[in-house]
Chain A
Amino acid sequence: DAKTTQPPSMDCAEGRAANLPCNHSTISGNEYVYWYRQIHSQGPQYIIHGLKNNETNEMASLIITEDRKSSTLILPHATLRDTAVYYCIEPNAGGTSYGKLTFGQGTILTVHP
Chain B
Amino acid sequence: DGGITQSPKYLFRKEGQNVTLSCEQNLNHDAMYWYRQDPGQGLRLIYYSQIVNDFQKGDIAEGYSVSREKKESFPLTVTSAQKNPTAFYLCASSKDRVSGEKLFFGSGTQLSVL
* A binding-site residues for B, Cβ under 8 Å: 2, 32, 34, 36, 41-46, 49, 87, 89, 91, 94-95, 97-106
Contact = CB atoms under 8 A, between A and B. Distances in A.
Contact-residue size bin, chain B (C-beta under 8 Å from the other chain): 20 to 34
Interface of B: 4, 31, 33, 35, 40-45, 48, 50, 56, 58-59, 88, 90, 92, 94, 97, 100-108, 110
Lowest 8 A-B CB distances belong to which pairs? A99-B100, A43-B105, A103-B42, A103-B43, A91-B101, A105-B42, A104-B42, A44-B105
Contact of A34 (B4, B44, B102): B102
A102 B90 CA distance: 14
13 contacts: A36-B103, A42-B107, A43-B108, A49-B102, A87-B42, A94-B45, A97-B56, A98-B50, A99-B97, A100-B58, A100-B100, A101-B45, A101-B100
Q: Is the interface of B mostly helix, strand, loop or mixed?
A: strand
A104 B43 CA distance: 7
Nearest to A91: B101
Contacts, number: 69
Contact of A102 (B45, B50, B92): B45
Contact of A44 (B43, B59, B94): B43
A94 B100 contact: no
Contacts of A36: 103
Given A41-B88, A43-B108, 6 more contacts: A43-B105, A94-B45, A98-B50, A99-B48, A101-B45, A101-B103
